[in-house]
Amino acid sequence: MKLVVVSAGLTQPSSTRLLADRLAASVATQTDVTVQVLELRDLAVDIAKNMVAGFPSPTLGDALLAVAEADGLIVATPIFTASYSGLFKSFFDLVEHEALTGKPVLIAATGGTARHSLALEHALRPMFAYLHAVVAPTAVYAASEDWAGTDLAQRIDRAAGELAELMVRSPAPAKQTFIPFEEQLAALKEKTD
């Protein structure tokens, strides 16, 4: 199965990427996956250009396609101003409509203080619910102090286990590319009658 990791960390190295990598490694120990990592910082300029021009550069197009074709996603963002980063949101604004429908997603975030941990629940989870993704129950937040503790590893394994199970159990549905015309006409007719 294909696992795609989307990391919106801005620095190099970044703690967001570190968290994403640990989640991916844990998934890989629990099920059979190939991992592809997308660093949004490398795509930041292309994302902005797509916003104004309406089409992606070839590199960004490949990244968007990878997300659409993934069997599961790990998405990780730093928490900026009480929510996901603008870059993170902008990237998902460009993902094709319905591309995440039914797709297993593990949400993760990093921040300087534990006080922002619920941003995962009030910002990321609703966003992916809106996109009709299947979001793993455990979201993983890593504050500065977590990197020194032992709890983080357990949460990582638990969340990764949930994603692995979702990927095995409920593979993302094949996309229907069109609705046969008779059905489109019939649907209108039904509402008329």
Partner 1 sequence: MQFGIFSVGDVTTDPTTGVTPSEHERIKAMVTIALKAEEVGLDVFATGEHHNPPFVPSSPTTMLGYIAARTERIILSTATTLITTNDPVKIAEDYAMLQHLADGRVDLMMGRGNTGPVYPWFGQDIRQGIPLAIENYALLHELWREDVVNWEGRFRTPLQGFTSTPRPLDGVPPFVWHGSIRSPEIAEQAAYYGDGFFANHIFWPASHFQRLIGLYRERFAHYGHGTPEQAYVGLGGQVFMRKNSQDAVTEFRPYFDNAPVYGHGPSLEEFTSQTPLTVGSPQQVIDRTLSFRDNFGDYQRQLFLMDHAGLPLKTVLEQLDHLGEILPVLRTEFAARRAPGVPDAPTHESLRLEKVSS
Interacting residues with partner 1 between 164 and 193 (CB under 8 A): 177-181, 184-185, 187-188, 191-192
CA distance 71 to 132: 14
CB of 54 to partner 1, least distance (A): 6
In the three-class reduction of DSSP (H, G, I as helix; E, B as strand; rest coil), residue 178 is classed as: coil
Q: How far is the CB of 64 from partner 1 (least distance, A)?
A: 11
**Closest Cα to residue 88, out of 76, 73, 103?**
76
Measured CA distances, 8 to 37, 146, 182 (Å): 11, 19, 44
- Residue 144 in 3-state DSSP? helix
For partner 1, give the closer residue by CB, 61 or 161.
61
Instruction: Provide, rounded to whole angstroms, the least separation between the CB of residue 145 and partner 1.
Output: 41
> What are 75's strand-pairing partners?
6, 107
Residue nearer to partner 1 on the CB measure, 169 or 191: 191
Distance CA 73, CA 67 (A): 7
Quick check: 86 binds partner 1 (CB under 8 A)? Answer: no
From 7-15, 28-36, 49-57, 137-145, give the range in contact with partner 1 by CB under 8 A: 49-57
Using CB under 8 A as the binding criterion, the count of chain residues that bind partner 1 stands at 23
At closest approach, how far in Å is the CB of 185 from partner 1?
A: 7
**Which stretches of the chain bind partner 1, using CB under 8 A?**
48-58, 61, 177-181, 184-185, 187-188, 191-192
